[in-house]
Amino acid sequence: MQLSTASWPEIEAYLSRSRGIVIPIGSHEQHGPNGLIGTDAICPEVIAQEAGDEDGFLVGPTFNVGQAQHHMAFPGSVTLRPSTMIAALQDWISSFTRHGFTRLYFFNGHGGNIATINAAFSEAYAPWSLRGEPAPFACKLVNWWELRGVGEVCKRRFPVGEGSHATASEVSVTYYKYPGFQKRVSMDPKIAPNGPIRDAADYRARFPDGRIGSDPSQATVAAGAEIVGVARAALIADVHRFFDDAG
């Protein structure tokens, strides 16, 4: 069930049986020469939507622009300042809790968001902590690639050249969702270098085509389908554990 295609009476009815919502969250940034700019938003979105359709839990709209300042030397990348993202997340959390949602499961697709999302959670809890009262809601952050079984599939499919950015696995997931947008580009070097992530100019100098440690030319629709299938089942199980936790 997706919030964007539901009516308000349907959401009111949903709240009578569940107080949980899954919110895909990602980024719009370069993903190497053959990766889609929306990769980090597309991956959690497709997994969440398929899981929600199968299981019946509610999936919110995708928070699809994140903290990606280090990618800004590549055309098409879009970023929020950490402070802007924290403020926006406060409004999203407040909107959902205003309607009675008490379990907010943020399903993330971008490693660069992690620190900022956790800071947003701390901001959301702070008023309750400072008043000495228990918060009437709980937030959880889960990265899609850390779901049970996903890492094993990715390692088996791509034992060499998976890397850490513009990975073969994440590009495969986007090709599964959008097979008509597959891009065949030769990689030089075949496997990109590794190194630290700092500011945008430093990033472009270290990683000229945007990849980090990866060879995403290996990406396939079939690999994406398998990854999504494993992730979908794992997400359903994890969402149930979180939604059913009354503590």
Q: Is the bond preceding residue 189 a cis peptide, omega within 30 degrees?
A: yes
CATH code 3.40.50.10310 for 3-244: yes
Report the run of H or E that residue 159 belongs to, with start and end.
none
- Residues 160-186 have pLDDT tens digits of 999 999 999 999 999 999 999 999 999
pTM: 0.97
Cβ-in-10-Å burial (0-12, 13-18, 19+) of 163 comes to: buried
Does residue 11 have a pLDDT over 90?
Answer: yes
